Amino acid sequence: MGSDDIVAALRQVPLFARLTGEQLRWMADHGRQLHFPAGTRIAEQGAAADGLSVILEGHTQWSRRTGTESVPTFTLEAGDLFGELILFLNAPYPHSGDAVTDVRLFRMEPATFWELLRLAPGLSRGLMELASQRSQQQAQDVRPQSEVLPVGRMAAELGAELGSPAAAARRSAARLGALMATVSARAMALGDHGLSLPQRSVLLALPREAAERGRTSPPLEPLARAEREEALGSWLEARGVADAWEAAPALVASGLDVAWLESVATRVGGALLGDVLAWLVVAVSCDVLMAEVARGTARVSALVEGVKAYAFMDPVPREDVDVHEGLEHALAVLGHRLRGEHLTVEREYDPGLPRLKAEGAALDELWTQLVLNALEALGERGGRVRLRTWKDAAHVVVEVSDDGPGIPKDLLPRIFEPFFSTKPHAAGMGLDVCRRIVERHGGDLCVRAEQSGTRIQVRLPA
């Protein structure tokens, strides 16, 4: 597949439906395609997280190994993705995946995944919802129901996981402070050579060249990376560079190789080479550490924004919001839950419905939770989800209904209690979150349990 084909394929994935063409192009340019013939393994239980993977073509079967037995758990096919949960939790693969047919994947490496969430923060909510479902499935596989609730456990582990990138960023910042003094001293040593203007221009261009190579060079496989580090370490050591072997990994991380360093030697000449290399190694190491600080803080930010987007702890500035667009976005986010042949979605939208002045992201979460609640009420047997909107005096009314079994009347008084749920393996936070969002907007939320299902009405000031 070419880059345009990948963009077209990603556009068909419901989770990416609202990304811009520029964002999809960025994804296509920063990921890679992988091909697995039928019968081969695409992921191994216990292996480290290797990125976010989107299945472009083919069908996969996943299983979980318990003792000496391997038990089939689920299947994934074209349009599905995997790897998001273990990236959020920094955990190994909980299942093994095998290609049933020839499979083509599009994969984004972990660092690229976190950068994507920084560039497209709206993805956090959808990925958190998907990760929550995966977490529930895994908890169901390996834990009794009486143990810690999966969503609560996931949130706790995410909170703990914040410490890892934050600590890495602190370590990199501390090393960066020490190296900054060194790079200044070595720059002064270069100044003692009485450099001409052309020589200074050459030297100033070197860090920019190194940074550009680091930005454009593709990631290396572990073996190729080790070989390049060995070659660079030997080259630097032969030319008397102090700490040559410690410096080699930073140079390789910046996309540098022996050929480029040879070009530097040709441009600066033998008299300057020793001091130039000493300065350049430290300067490049500083750039690498700065990038590590940026990645660490970006990951912390992405994790925090993801959790906040899912729980909606903080109000945000209000904007003009199209209710119908928000409902359609909720359906897109939950597209992987809408594929059953026994499931139908009916829409009855008022074409004259006014736009609302509201917290757009919060309303997106509201509609997503309500639709998800209806889908969970239907369960595997399927049924009908109906979305209706209309204007009632000074209010906009949104109704989400299902024809599931309904809520027992004796449990109705408890449905807004945090951590209470009529469904097994559910955190019981959905309706509580919904009510808080609606009340923050000056509206009200009403739940009507009927023999033919459940109707939830949201009234918001127009």
Do 330 and 281 lie in one domain? The reply is no
Lowest mean pLDDT among 168-182, 217-231, 258-272, 278-292: 168-182
| Percent of the chain whose pLDDT exceeds 70 | 80
Could you tell me the pLDDT band of residue 421, with boundaries at 50, 70 and 90?
Answer: low
User: Tens digit of pLDDT for each residue in 335-376?
Assistant: 767 776 788 899 999 999 999 999 887 888 889 889 988 888
Residue 222 domain boundaries: 164-295
Do 329 and 425 lie in one domain? The reply is yes
Mean pLDDT of 204-224: 79
Could you tell me the pLDDT band of residue 87, with boundaries at 50, 70 and 90?
Answer: confident
Do 337 and 442 lie in one domain? The reply is yes
pLDDT surpasses 80 at 294: no
Do 136 and 28 lie in one domain? The reply is yes
User: Structural domain tally of the chain?
Assistant: 3
Could you tell me the pLDDT band of residue 143, with boundaries at 50, 70 and 90?
Answer: very low
The answer to whether residue 312 is domain-embedded is no
Do 141 and 174 lie in one domain? The reply is no
Do 187 and 248 lie in one domain? The reply is yes
The answer to whether residue 300 is domain-embedded is no
Mean pLDDT of 20-29: 90
Do 272 and 337 lie in one domain? The reply is no
Whether the pTM exceeds 0.85: the reply is: no
Residue 129 vs residue 405, higher pLDDT: 405
Q: What is the pLDDT of residue 1?
A: 72
Do 136 and 203 lie in one domain? The reply is no
CATH number of the structural domain spanning residue 330:
3.30.565.10
Do 190 and 129 lie in one domain? The reply is no
Q: What is the pLDDT of residue 336?
A: 67
pLDDT surpasses 50 at 95: yes
Do 329 and 270 lie in one domain? The reply is no
User: Tens digit of pLDDT for each residue in 302-323?
Assistant: 555 555 545 544 556 788 999 9
Mean pLDDT of 279-286: 81
Residue 188 vs residue 132, higher pLDDT: 188
The answer to whether residue 22 is domain-embedded is yes
Lowest mean pLDDT among 37-46, 188-197, 316-325, 425-434: 425-434
CB 458 within 8 A of CB 366: yes
Do 104 and 212 lie in one domain? The reply is no
Mean pLDDT of 145-171: 51
